[in-house]
């Protein structure tokens, strides 16, 4: 099954016999506090206009646990996650489509969590809300209680030790911007740099100017060139397990399975005993 869906395909599915549950996961990594600006309000954006029938999901509340030693966006409590998904109308036997404001990171986080916890049919709207050609709605749909019960382990998950080992034995991709990988800047976490052995693979290079993914063959060529050989295990990390999910999604589009290190750099760098590499080279 394709991990992404076009706007025209979504419109057709919504008019079909088994329409998908649509989740609006608009979110932005906020630097507003440092800039003295109000933070992005995903719910307000949703209420101002969304795909008809879509239900809003809050990334920080529903798709992550409280920030702490395990990172800025650690795994959510599974009982709470399951309750949030059921409250959003997610059923185990009904397709799900997720979208965000166009960057794709938040939608990919929802996609990854639902897939990791066993939902068999989840897709991301390629290009996000800007790609939607239909009318937008301001109507909040009536609550429908779903039946989805998360069972973790359907896809790959890495912890800090597993990420370090994979950087030595397989291919560990760092999905952050290159300057953060190299340690030239670090606007959020304790220290800049990367996990020794990890390869810089910014997720922004997986999409075109319109925010849509490159063709599968182009993505496959890119990842193969970065070390995702046919016999290599592949893992991804980022700052806090959000943009890294977007890279896992890009790998899925390319036909390459990959595990996500959810704690990512925010967890790794919080422990001064863990090694940090800087510069353009993996080591």
Tokens encoding 127: 């290009």
**Distance, first Cα to last Cα, the chain:** 36
Q: Which of 160, 163, 166, 238 is catalytic?
A: 238
Which one, of 204, 208, 88, 78, lies nearest residue 140 by Cα?
Answer: 88
Alpha helices in the chain (DSSP H): 7-14, 32-35, 42-48, 59-62, 78-87, 105-116, 160-169, 178-182, 216-225, 243-253, 264-268
278: which residues sit within 8 A by CB, 6+ positions away? 182, 183, 192, 193, 194
Tokens encoding 237: 């990390």
Which one, of 167, 153, 145, 4, lies nearest residue 75 by Cα?
Answer: 153
Contact 115, 155 (CB under 8 A): yes
Which one, of 148, 181, 157, lies nearest residue 269 by Cα?
Answer: 181
The question of whether 204 is a catalytic residue gets the answer no
Contact 51, 99 (CB under 8 A): yes
Enzyme catalytic residues: 238
């Amino acid at each position: 099954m394709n991990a992404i869906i076009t706007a025209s395909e979504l419109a057709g599915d919504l008019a079909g016999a088994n329409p998908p549950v649509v989740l609006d996961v608009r979110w932005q990594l906020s630097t507003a506090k440092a800039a003295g600006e109000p933070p992005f309000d995903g719910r307000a954006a949703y209420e101002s206009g969304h795909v008809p029938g879509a239900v809003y999901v809050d990334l920080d509340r529903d798709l992550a646990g409280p920030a702490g030693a395990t990172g800025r966006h650690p795994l959510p409590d599974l009982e709470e996650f399951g309750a949030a998904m059921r409250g959003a109308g997610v059923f185990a036997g009904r397709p799900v489509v997720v979208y965000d404001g166009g960057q794709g990171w938040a939608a990919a986080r929802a996609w990854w969590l639902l897939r990791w916890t066993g939902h068999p049919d989840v897709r991301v709207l390629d290009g996000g809300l800007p790609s939607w050609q239909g009318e937008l709605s301001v109507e909040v749909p009536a609550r429908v209680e779903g039946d989805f019960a998360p069972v973790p382990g359907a896809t790959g998950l890495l912890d800090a030790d597993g990420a370090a080992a994979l950087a030595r034995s397989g291919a560990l991709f760092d999905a952050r911007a290159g300057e953060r990988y190299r340690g030239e800047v670090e606007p959020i976490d304790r220290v800049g740099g990367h996990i020794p052995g990890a390869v810089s693979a910014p997720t922004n290079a997986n999409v075109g100017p319109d925010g849509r993914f490159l063709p599968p063959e182009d993505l496959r060529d890119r990842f193969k060139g970065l070390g995702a050989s046919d016999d290599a295990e592949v893992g991804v990390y980022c700052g806090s397990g959000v943009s890294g999910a977007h890279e896992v999604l890009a790998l899925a589009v390319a036909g390459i399975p990959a595990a996500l290190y959810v704690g990512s750099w925010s967890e790794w760098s919080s422990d001064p005993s863990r090694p940090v590499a800087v510069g353009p080279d993996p080591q």
